[in-house]
Amino acid sequence: MLNIKDLHAYYGKSHVLRGVNIEVRPGEIVSLLGRNGVGRSTLCKAVMGLVHPHGVVEFDGVSLVGLEPHQVAHTGIGYIPEDRAIFPGLTVLQNLELGMKKRGQTGEQWTLDAVYNRFPRLKEREHTSAEVLSGGEQQMLSMFRALMGDPRCVLVDEPTEGLAPKVVADVASILREMAAEGIAVLLVEQKLSIAMDISDRVYVMGEGEIVFDGTPDSLRENPDVRKEWLEV
């Protein structure tokens, strides 16, 4: 579904991504692992058109290279950025409404009722300004806002950063639900235990390149890769 080949990306003269190849299929959770600063978030931004990509970025056979972020979103890709990007001056409901494909039109799978049933706390705070929500509530709001448009692929950047264990478990559960509904999930995650537990496949990135591609079990059996590219 999401096909990335020989992807390069730059910040000015800094060559951040160096020929990255990644594939994510429908119903898969694929984790992109690596230390901070190796280019994982940049890859998500390149897919979304927030950073200009050089190479092949295709979604369902359609090239995304050169598209604006809103055009990429309309192809069926949802993006949950590391900073959550909630709109602090808007209420919970207004933030969720911004995720709809058209104003006043909820998605077929993830309606407002479905969101509120899955995470009742958002219903309780429906008319509360998003800026006063806890970190966990903001993360849930960001995730469900992306789902309101019924995406077929979701890029999720560091969703468990700074969250309590209970909320981390909720995040993992929602990611599993996405995959069960056939959504392709590309997960950028720092917590190795979570990624290894819920992923079908994993990529490890180092210095802007993919240095490992395999299953969680194969990564567990490869201590050299973990020591070289993942352990602090």
What's the pLDDT tens digit per position in 89-141? 999 999 999 988 654 444 467 889 989 999 999 999 999 999 999 999 999 99
DSSP state of 152: S
Give the architecture-level CATH label for domain 2-76+151-229: 3-Layer(aba) Sandwich (3.40)
What's the confidence (pLDDT) of residue 104? Answer: 47
Query: For residues 95 and 65, is the Cβ–Cβ distance under 8 A?
Result: no
> What per-residue confidence (pLDDT) applies to 8?
98
Rounded CA-CA distance 139/80 in Å is: 9
Whole-number Å distance between alpha carbons of 134 and 200: 30
Q: Which residues of the chain have pLDDT under 70?
A: 101-108, 232
CATH 3.40.50.300, the chain: domain bounds: 2-76+151-229
Rounded to whole angstroms, how far apart are CA atoms 10 and 133? 35
Interval 155-166: pLDDT, tens: 999 999 888 899
Which pLDDT score, from 0 to 100, does residue 161 have? 87
Helix (H) or strand (E) run with residue 77 in it? strand 77-80
Q: Exposed, middle or buried, 23 (CB in 10 Å: 0-12/13-18/19+)? A: middle
**Torsion-angle region of 11 (φ positive above 0: left; ψ -120 to 50: alpha; else: beta):** beta
Our CA angle for 108, 112, 116, nearest 5°, is 130
* 138: CB partners within 8 A, 6+ apart: 84, 86, 130
pLDDT at 108 (0 to 100) = 64
Question: Sign (positive/negative) of CA torsion 89, 93, 97, 103?
Answer: negative
